[in-house]
Amino acid sequence: MWDMTRNDKNPVSGPHAVEVRGLVKHYGETKALDGVDLDVREGTVLGVLGPNGAGKTTLVRCLSTLIVPDAGTATVAGYDVVRQPRQLRRTIGLTGQYASVDEKLSGWENLYMIGRLLDLSRKDARSRADELLERFSLTDAAKKAAMNYSGGMRRRLDLAASMIGRPAVLYLDEPTTGLDPRTRNEVWDEVQRMVAEGATVLLTTQYMEEAEQLANELTVIDKGKVIANGKVDELKARVGGRTLRIRPVDPSDLPGMARSLAENGLDGVAGSQAVPDEGVLLVPILSDEQLTAVVGLLAARGYAIADLGTYLPSLDEVFLAITGQRPAVDDSVPTEQTEEVAV
Amino acid sequence: MSTVTTAKPAPAPAAAVSAPAGEGRIGLRANLRHIGALVRRNALQIKQDPESMFDVLFMPIIFTLLFVFVFGGAISGKGQQEAYVNYVVPGLMAMMGMNIAMGVGTGVNDDFKKGVMDRFRSMPIARSSVLIAKIVVELGRMMVAIAILLAVGFMLGLSIKTSVFDLFLSIGLSAVFGASLMWIFILLGLTMKTAQAVQGMAMLVLMPLQFGSSIFAPPSTMPGWLQAFTDYNPLSNLADAARGLINGGAVAHPVTVTLIWSVAITAVTMPLAVRKFRQKT
Q: Do B3 and A83 touch (CB under 8 A)?
A: no
- Does B278 lie at the interface with A, CB-CB under 8 angstroms? no
Q: Do B124 and A66 touch (CB under 8 A)?
A: no
- Name the minimum distance, in Å, from the CA of A98 to any CA of chain B: 6
ipTM: 0.80
pLDDT digits (tens, 9 = 90+) for B236-262: 999 999 999 998 888 889 999 999 999
pLDDT digits (tens, 9 = 90+) for B122-169: 899 988 898 899 999 999 999 999 999 999 999 998 888 888 999 999
Query: How many other CB atoms are there within 10 angstroms of residue B48's CB atom?
Result: 17
Phi-psi region of B240 (alpha: psi -120 to 50; beta: other; left: phi over 0): alpha
- Residue A183: what residue type? T
Higher pLDDT, A241 or B51: B51
Q: What is the rounded CA–CA span in Å between residue B256 and residue B238? A: 10
On whether the A242-311 domain is CATH 3.30.70.100, my answer is yes
Whether the Cβ atoms of residue A279 and residue A273 lie closer than 8 Å to each other? no
Q: Do A5 and B12 touch (CB under 8 A)?
A: no
Give pLDDT, residue A339: 31
**Chain B residues inside the 8 Å CB shell of A23:** 10
Residue B263 has pLDDT above 50, yes or no: yes
**Residue in B16, B36, B115 nearest the CB of A96:** B115
Give pLDDT, residue B128: 86
| Beta-bridge partner residues of A23 | A36
Confidence category of residue B264, pLDDT binned at 50, 70, 90: very high
**Nearest CA among A266, A267, A241 for reference residue A321:** A241
Q: Which CATH architecture has domain A6-237?
A: 3-Layer(aba) Sandwich (3.40)
Confidence category of residue B38, pLDDT binned at 50, 70, 90: very high
Q: Do B41 and A85 touch (CB under 8 A)?
A: no
- Does B36 lie at the interface with A, CB-CB under 8 angstroms? yes
Phi-psi region of A246 (alpha: psi -120 to 50; beta: other; left: phi over 0): beta
**Residue in A66, A109, A119 nearest the CB of B122:** A66
Which residue stretches of chain A have pLDDT < 50?
A: 1-12, 329-343
Give pLDDT, residue A179: 81
Give pLDDT, residue A5: 38
- Name the minimum distance, in Å, from the CA of A24 to any CA of chain B: 8
**Residue in B10, B19, B40 nearest the CB of A85:** B19
- Name the minimum distance, in Å, from the CA of A242 to any CA of chain B: 25
**Chain A residues inside the 8 Å CB shell of B128:** none
Give pLDDT, residue A132: 93
For B6, nearest residue in chain A (alpha carbons): A37
**Chain B residues inside the 8 Å CB shell of A161:** 119
Residue B23 has pLDDT above 60, yes or no: no
Confidence category of residue B203, pLDDT binned at 50, 70, 90: confident
User: Which residues numbered 91-150 in B keep a CB inside 8 Å of some CB on A?
Assistant: 114-116, 118-125
- Name the minimum distance, in Å, from the CA of B110 to any CA of chain A: 12
Please list, in sequence order, all residues whose beta carbon lies within 8 angstroms of the beta carbon of residue B235, skipping any fewer than 6 positions away. Answer: B94, B95, B98, B209, B210, B213, B215
**Residue in B8, B19, B38 nearest the CB of A84:** B19
Give pLDDT, residue B24: 64
Give pLDDT, residue B97: 82
Mutate to test the interface with B, among A111, A117, A128 (most CBs of B within 10 A): A117
Mutate to test the interface with B, among A100, A120, A234 (most CBs of B within 10 A): A100
Which residues belong to CATH 3.40.50.300 in chain A? Answer: 6-237
pTM of the entire structure?
Answer: 0.77
Q: Do B122 and A98 touch (CB under 8 A)?
A: no
Q: Do B44 and A103 touch (CB under 8 A)?
A: no
Q: Do A117 and B116 touch (CB under 8 A)?
A: no
- Name the minimum distance, in Å, from the CA of B53 to any CA of chain A: 15
Share of chain B above pLDDT 90, in %: 34
Higher pLDDT, B5 or A225: A225
Q: Do A105 and B44 touch (CB under 8 A)?
A: yes
- Name the minimum distance, in Å, from the CA of B31 to any CA of chain A: 9
Edge-first strand listing for the sheet containing A273-275: A273-275, A280-285, A242-248, A305-311
Which residues belong to CATH 3.30.70.100 in chain A? Answer: 242-311
Whether the Cβ atoms of residue A33 and residue A62 lie closer than 8 Å to each other? yes
Give pLDDT, residue B33: 94
For B39, nearest residue in chain A (alpha carbons): A113
Please compute the mean of the pLDDT values over residues B94-121 and round it to a whole number: 83
**Chain B residues inside the 8 Å CB shell of A101:** 115-116, 119
Give pLDDT, residue B160: 87
Q: Do B2 and A66 touch (CB under 8 A)?
A: no
Q: What is the rounded CA–CA span in Å between residue B244 and residue B169? A: 11
HEC secondary structure over A34-101: EEEEEEEECCCEEEEECCCCCCHHHHHHHHCCCCCCCEEEEEECCEECCCCHHHHHCCEEEECCCCCC
Higher pLDDT, A98 or B275: B275
Residue B3 has pLDDT above 50, yes or no: no
Give pLDDT, residue B18: 40
Residue B49 has pLDDT above 70, yes or no: yes
Q: Do A117 and B118 touch (CB under 8 A)?
A: no
Q: Do A89 and B124 touch (CB under 8 A)?
A: yes
Strand, helix or coil at A309? strand
